[in-house]
Every structure is written in C-alpha cells, then in structure tokens.
C-alpha cells in the first residue's frame, strides 16, 4: 500500500503542469483506485479470517479426535492390564490343574499297572491250565492210538494166518484145475478125432467137401437174409409212408388251425367293405340262397359275421378271390342281388379277369422283347400276377429273372433273347393248379414242351432247381437269376438277419467236420459246396461226410425246401518245366 501512495504522489508532482480539470480527474481516478484497493484489502482480510476460522475448527476437530484416541488408548491400556491379570490367574490355575492331572495320572498309572500285573498273572495261570489240559488230551490220544495199533497188529496177525490158509487152499485148487485141464484136453482131442472121422464119412456119403458145404450154407443164409431184409425194408417203407402221410395231414391241419398270422390273413382272405349293414341281409338272401349262389359260382367261402359293414372272402386261390371281390363290389353298387344277376356278373368278371391275365402276359413278353410265343404260354405267365411265393409276386419275379438272365448272357457273349426267355418262363409251373402232381419246375417243363418251346428252354426250366441235369449254360443262368431275384433283401417275407444267420449256420456246421478245408453256401442257401483236403479224406470218407453234414443240417436248422450237399475232393499234380 505504501508503494501505491508514493506512486500517486509522484504522479501528482509530475502533473503540476496540468489543468485544474485534469487534476480533478486524476484526483478522482486516484480516489477510485484507492477505494478499490481498500475493497480488495477488506476482501482479503475477510478471506483470511474465514480461513483462520476453518483452521481453528479443524484444529478443534483434531484435538477432539486426539482426545478420543487418548481415551481409547487409556481404555486399551486398562483392558490390557485386566487381561494381563486374568492371564496370570489362568497360568496359576493351569499350573495347579497340571499338577492335579499329573498326580491323578500317576495314581491311575499305578492302579492300571497293578491291574495289568494281576491280569497277566491270571492269564498265565489260565494258559498253564490250558497247556496241562492239552497235554493230558494228547497223552490220552497217544494212549488210544497205541491201543488201536495193538488191535490192528492183532487183526493183521489173524488175517495173515487166514491168508496162509487160503493160499494153501488155492494151491490145492490149482493142482485140481491142472488135472482137470489135462483131462479136458484129452477129451477135446478125442472129440476132434471123432469129429474128423465123422466129417470124412459125411463127405464120402454126400460127395461134397466141408468148405463147399460151408460156402453153400453161407450163400443160402445170405440170400434168405437179403430177401427178409428187403421184405422188412419194404414193409417199413410202406408203414413209414402211410404214417408220414397221416402225420403230415395232421400237422398241416393243426398248423392251419393254430396259425393266425398276418401272412395267412393277407394271402388267403379278402375283406369287402359294405355301405351299411342292410346290404348284408341282401347278400345272404332269403334262406341264404344268394350267398350260396356266390360261393357256388366263384368257388370261395363268404364269411358274414357280426363285424359291422364287412364281408370276408376266404380262398387259397387268388384268382377266385379276385373274381369274388369284383363280383361283390359290382352287385353292391348295382343293388340288384339275386341268383340270376349273380351268375351273370360272375361270368362277366371272369371274362374281364381273363383279359387282364392275357394283358399281363403280353406285357411281360413285351417288356423283355420276346416274340413267337404260344397264347397258352402267355396266359399262364399272366396268371402268375395273382400268385405269390413267400410274399413275392411271381409275375414280377419272373420278369426280374428274365432281365437278370439277359444281362448275364450279354456279359458272357450268349444269346440275350434266349436267356430272357428262359428267365421269364422258369417259374411258369407255379401257375398250374393243384390237380397236376410234381414240382413246379418239372410241371412247367412238360407244359412248355407240349406248347412248342425248344429243348434248350425246356431243360433250363426243368433244371433250375437241380432236379434234372443241366444241359446248357442257360440252365445255370436261370438258377442264378432265380436265386438273385428271390434272395435279395425285401423280395420275400424273410428278415435279412435271419437269412444271413442261416447261411452262416450252414457253413459253420460244414466246417466243423475234420478234413473240411472250405465251404460255400450258394443258390440262396439251397446248395453247399464243401471242399475237403485230399490228403486226409478219401473218396469213401467224402461220401460219409456229405451224408453226415446233411443229417446235422436236418437236426439243427429250420429251412424252407431242400439243401443239396456237394462234397468235392480234388487232387492236383503240379510240376514246372525248366
């Protein structure tokens, strides 16, 4: 502030030459500046006072906190003193307790030591008693053993005396036996001499030697035995055939009565839905005349039971079932159901079914590109559309076999059309009805022979199940195609796992025989090729093995049809020219 005053005075002195107004103005400015300085001074003084008050308040707060800390420290000191006092008391108490515990432990240790000594003495006495008892028992056992030994020695002495007596008796008996043997040998010698003399006399009387007589007797007995064996075998065979036929009929009857699976229902039964239950009465007719007319005209059985709005057609022949089903559907749609209308409808449906059969046959031959076929053969192939085997449609199976035969023939460079013809016609015998006896392969071959098919085709059809000897490669193609189409998974009602398991079981049985080197199940398990080691198995043993394998398969496996066992024994002589 002093500096500002001196500056002001210098300014006034230096401005003496100014005017009065200038002095006034300068004076006013100085006063204003001086006033602002005073204001600044006052403001700073107020701020310093405020700051001093804050510092004072903070100092008082610090003093208060210091006083509080001092009080807390005093309390802590007092508590520490109290804790030290308690600790001293606890130490004294612990020392006293330790002393008491030591005295008590010493007392208990002394007491337990005394008890242990007493227990040891007691157990020692008991052990001594036990040892004395054991010693007495052993002594008694030894005495008993000695007594038994004495008895045994006495028995052995007696037995020895007895054996000596028996030995003397045996020597006497042996001497008697020797005398008897000598006497018997003399008698046998005399008998042989008498027999030889009698034989010479007999030869002189009969004019025949003993060897010739023996051979004649053996031959006579052999012939009689053969005749008797043949007679017994024929009788057994006749009885077995009659019994087998009887049992087969009984088994079939029981099986048909008890088996109610989906396969039977699916293959022998056809269900027709009716618009209402009123139609059932019209189908039955007055006193059942309509239903009898339908059954007589179609050859099926109609089952009309309590099942609502349903009629069941039952028959083994699928064509008859189809005719009956179509007839019923048309009669129900027409509404006129009486014997005359039934016969008319059945005749019309049969004609249409025959046309469908012929169309199916034409379609099969057209698909395979086969020409120049007898119409009866075409009809029979068409009938296969309504036939099944193990759930597989035979018509489709024959077409598949035809294509397979053609493909294999093309690969081998053979006549493709002829191969397709063989494949298509191989199962035609399955279209024949039950009135013709024999297997379907032979029936089909006879049918084709009557209707102008070549001898090559006839032989291939007859031999596709190895019932006759194949005469061409086309027969083998038919076998392969039949097996491929029938054995593929899904073609027939047989689970793939079951099919593979049967083939594995067949091969396992064959390989279980000694001397078998390899085994192959071919033709979908219908034939087994068994290769044997020629160094171990000869020709006679090969025949025995084939029979044994067949018997084992019959006993252990269940399979459809027949299985052919073919045992092959091969000897190879190999030499190298150098």
pLDDT band at 75 (very low <50, low <70, confident <90, very high): confident
Q: Distance of CA 221 to CAs 182, 208, 217, 224, 228, Å?
A: 38, 18, 6, 5, 10
Lowest mean pLDDT among 104-108, 156-160, 273-277, 335-339: 104-108
Is the pLDDT at 344 greater than 80, yes or no? Answer: yes
Angle between helices 339-368 and 318-334 (to 10 degrees): 130
What integer is the mean pLDDT of 29-53?
A: 72
Q: What is the reported pLDDT for 261?
A: 44
In the numeric block, which tokens belong to residue 88?
Answer: 């001293």
pLDDT, one tens digit per residue, over 493-537 is 554 566 677 788 888 888 888 888 888 887 767 788 999 888 888
pLDDT band at 146 (very low <50, low <70, confident <90, very high): confident
DSSP reduced 3-state for 493: coil
Asked if 532 and 544 count as a contact pair (C-beta separation under 8 A), the reply is: no
Task: Say what percent of the chain tops pLDDT 70.
Answer: 80
Q: What is the C-alpha to C-alpha distance for residues 136 and 422, in angstroms, rounded to an integer?
A: 105
Is the pLDDT at 224 greater than 80, yes or no? Answer: no
What stretch of H or E contains 517? strand 516-522
Close Cβ partners of 368 (under 8 Å, ≥ 6 residues apart): 399, 402, 403, 406, 420, 421, 424
Lowest mean pLDDT among 55-59, 132-136, 402-406: 55-59
What integer is the mean pLDDT of 570-578?
A: 74
Close Cβ partners of 275 (under 8 Å, ≥ 6 residues apart): 309, 332
Specify the higher pLDDT residue, 469 or 276. Answer: 469
Asked if 443 and 468 count as a contact pair (C-beta separation under 8 A), the reply is: no
In the numeric block, which tokens belong to residue 409?
Answer: 């023939």
- Closest-CA residue to 263 (of 492, 58, 107): 492
Asked if 546 and 530 count as a contact pair (C-beta separation under 8 A), the reply is: yes
Q: What is the largest CA-CA distance in the chain?
A: 216
What integer is the mean pLDDT of 170-191?
A: 78
Structural domains in the chain, CATH included, are 6-203 (no CATH), 266-368 (3.30.1370.10), 389-494 (1.10.3210.10), 502-578 (3.30.300.30)
One DSSP character per residue, 12-62 reads: HHHTTTS-HHHHHHHHHHHHHHHHHHHHHHHHHHHHHHHHHHHHHHHHHHH
Neighbouring C-beta atoms of residue 26, cutoff 10 Å: 15
Q: What is the reported pLDDT for 421?
A: 92
pLDDT band at 202 (very low <50, low <70, confident <90, very high): low
Q: What is the reported pLDDT for 563?
A: 83
Q: What is the reported pLDDT for 431?
A: 83
DSSP reduced 3-state for 271: strand
Angle between helices 289-298 and 318-334 (to 10 degrees): 140
Q: What is the C-alpha to C-alpha distance for residues 371 and 417, in angstroms, rounded to an integer?
A: 9
- Quick one: CA dihedral 536, 539, 543, 544, positive or negative? negative
Q: Distance of CA 303 to CAs 283, 291, 340, 453, Å?
A: 11, 9, 21, 43
Is the pLDDT at 472 greater than 80, yes or no? Answer: yes
pLDDT band at 343 (very low <50, low <70, confident <90, very high): confident
Q: What is the C-alpha to C-alpha distance for residues 525 and 554, in angstroms, rounded to an integer?
A: 14
pLDDT, one tens digit per residue, over 375-415 is 888 888 888 888 877 667 888 889 988 998 988 888 888 89
For 399-438, letters b (16+ CB in 10 Å) and e give bbbbbbbbbbbeeeebebebbbbbbbbbbbbbbbeeeeee
CB hemisphere CA count around 294 (13 angstroms): 30
In the numeric block, which tokens belong to residue 484?
Answer: 């491929």
Specify the higher pLDDT residue, 569 or 31. Answer: 569
pLDDT band at 21 (very low <50, low <70, confident <90, very high): low
Q: What is the mean pLDDT of the chain?
A: 78
Neighbouring C-beta atoms of residue 550, cutoff 10 Å: 16
DSSP reduced 3-state for 275: coil
Strand order in 564-569's β-sheet? 516-522, 527-532, 564-569
Length of the chain: 578
- Residue 27 bridge partners (DSSP): none
DSSP reduced 3-state for 564: strand
What integer is the mean pLDDT of 184-207?
A: 72
Q: What is the reported pLDDT for 259?
A: 45
Specify the higher pLDDT residue, 221 or 362. Answer: 362
Q: What is the reported pLDDT for 561?
A: 64
pLDDT, one tens digit per residue, over 236-276 is 767 777 777 777 667 656 555 554 444 455 557 777 888 87
What integer is the mean pLDDT of 104-110?
A: 72
């Amino acid at each position: 502030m002093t500096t500002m005053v001196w500056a002001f005075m210098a300014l006034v002195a230096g401005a003496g030459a100014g005017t009065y107004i200038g002095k006034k103005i300068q004076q006013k400015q100085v006063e204003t500046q001086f006033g602002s300085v005073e204001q600044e001074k006052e403001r700073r003084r107020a701020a310093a006072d405020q700051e001093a008050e804050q510092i004072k308040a903070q100092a008082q707060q610090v003093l208060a906190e210091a006083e509080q800390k001092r009080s807390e420290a005093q309390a802590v000191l007092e508590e520490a003193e109290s804790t030290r006092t308690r600790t001293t008391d606890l130490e004294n108490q612990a020392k006293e307790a330790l002393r008491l515990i030591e005295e008590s432990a010493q007392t208990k240790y002394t007491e337990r030591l005394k008890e242990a000594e007493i227990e040891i003495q007691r157990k020692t006495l008991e052990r001594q008693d036990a040892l004395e008892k054991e010693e007495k028992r052993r002594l008694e056992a030894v005495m008993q053993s000695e007594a038994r030994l004495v008895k045994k020695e006495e028995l052995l002495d007696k037995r020895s005396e007895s054996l000596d007596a028996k030995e003397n008796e045996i020597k006497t008996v042996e001497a008697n036996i020797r005398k008897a043997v000598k006497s018997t040998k003399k008698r046998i010698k005399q008998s042989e001499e008498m027999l030889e003399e009698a034989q010479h006399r007999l030869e002189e009387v009969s004019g025949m030697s003993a060897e010739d007589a023996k051979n004649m007797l053996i031959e006579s007995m052999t012939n009689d035995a053969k005749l008797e064996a043949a007679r017994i075998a024929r009788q057994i065979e006749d009885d077995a055939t009659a019994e087998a036929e009887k049992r087969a009929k009984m088994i079939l009857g029981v099986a048909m009565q008890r088996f109610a699976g989906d396969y039977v229902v699916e293959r022998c039964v056809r269900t027709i839905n009716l618009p209402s239950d009123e139609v059932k009465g019209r189908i039955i007719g007055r006193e059942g005349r309509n239903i009898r007319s339908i059954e007589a005209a179609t050859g099926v059985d109609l089952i009309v039971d309590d099942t609502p709005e349903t009629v069941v057609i039952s028959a083994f022949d699928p064509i008859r079932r189809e005719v009956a089903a179509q007839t019923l559907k048309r009669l129900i749609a027409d509404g006129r159901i009486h014997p005359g209308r039934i016969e008319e409808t059945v005749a019309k449906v049969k004609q249409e079914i025959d046309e469908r059969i012929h169309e199916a046959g034409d379609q099969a031959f057209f698909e395979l590109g086969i020409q120049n076929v007898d119409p009866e053969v075409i009809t029979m192939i068409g009938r296969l559309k309504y036939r099944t085997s193990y759930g597989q449609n035979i018509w489709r199976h024959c077409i598949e076999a035809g294509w397979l035969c053609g493909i294999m023939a093309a690969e081998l460079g053979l006549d493709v059309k002829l191969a397709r013809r063989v494949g298509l016609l191989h199962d035609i015998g399955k279209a024949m009805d039950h009135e013709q006896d024999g297997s379907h392969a032979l029936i089909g071959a006879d049918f084709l022979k009557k209707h102008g098919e070549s001898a090559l085709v006839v032989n291939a059809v007859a031999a596709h199940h190895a019932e006759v000897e194949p005469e061409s490669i086309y027969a083998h193609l038919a076998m392969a195609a039949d097996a491929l189409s029938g054995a593929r998974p899904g073609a027939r009602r047989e689970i793939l796992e079951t099919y593979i398991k049967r083939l594995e079981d067949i091969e396992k049985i064959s390989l279980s025989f000694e001397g078998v080197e390899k085994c192959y199940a071919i033709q979908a398990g219908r034939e087994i090729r068994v290769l044997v080691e020629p160094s171990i198995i000869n020709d006679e043993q090969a025949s025995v093995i084939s029979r044994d394998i067949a018997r084992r398969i019959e006993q252990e496996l269940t399979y459809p049809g027949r299985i052919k066992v073919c045992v092959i024994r091969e000897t190879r002589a190999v030499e190298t020219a150098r």
